[in-house]
Amino acid sequence: KQEVTQIPAALSVPEGENLVLNCSFTDSAIYNLQWFRQDPGKGLTSLLLIQSSQREQTSGRLNASLDKSSGRSTLYIAASQPGDSATYLCAVGTYKYIFGTGTRLKVLA
Amino acid sequence: DVKVTQSSRYLVKRTGEKVFLECVQDMDHENMFWYRQDPGLGLRLIYFSYDVKMKEKGDIPEGYSVSREKKERFSLILESASTNQTSMYLCASSTGSHTGELFFGEGSRLTVL
């Protein structure tokens, strides 16, 4: 059974810091992996989608990598800003999406 | 841009009431999903649909039903609401294979008293 883990559950960093969020999964037989951002009380906003044949995707200050063999993905946020404060979730695509429980990020001004 | 619209952002219902949660997407996506999100439990899949009039049970279908009469609309129905169905309900859609990119609505916060 596929399990998705995100550690740490919460993270506080000063503004301007580069940071890495982690997502690990137990079964490497995946179609893709998607990173989302969720603001309090809102829905999920898609950030990046990495297909299983890809190693990474970039969008602006965000870079996501995927290592299927080790069951890991990282989301790198460069030059963090207070507006980046949110919960970040990863979801692993098998025959359906399996979600991690998220990392709650706070960027301090 | 893909838009997934959930008709109600906040609802308060009483135990035993029938509740309809509506979701509409405007990108001609084949696949639509209903999740609920609870603190500490993450997102759990209730039902999904790969085509009009088709539906499949997710991980927690008990107490829920769905309807997909038109491609753009996917409704979640609570036949007799109970307090343990108080939650955030999230609708999503995608195209292509089962795991194409997911797009979510803003969520519906349901409170059952």
Question: In this predicted structure, what is the pLDDT of residue B35?
Answer: 97
Cα nearest neighbour of A102 on chain B: B42
Place of tokens 């639509």: B32
Question: Which residues on A lie below 8 Å from B4 (Cβ)?
Answer: 43
Name which of A27, A38, A44, A48 to mutate to probe chain B: the one with the most chain B Cβ atoms within 10 A of its Cβ: A44
Nearest to B84 by CA among B47, B60, B112, B44: B112
Question: For B43-73, what is each residue's pLDDT tens digit?
Answer: 999 999 998 989 999 999 999 999 999 999 9
Question: For B12-22, what is each residue's pLDDT tens digit?
Answer: 999 999 999 99
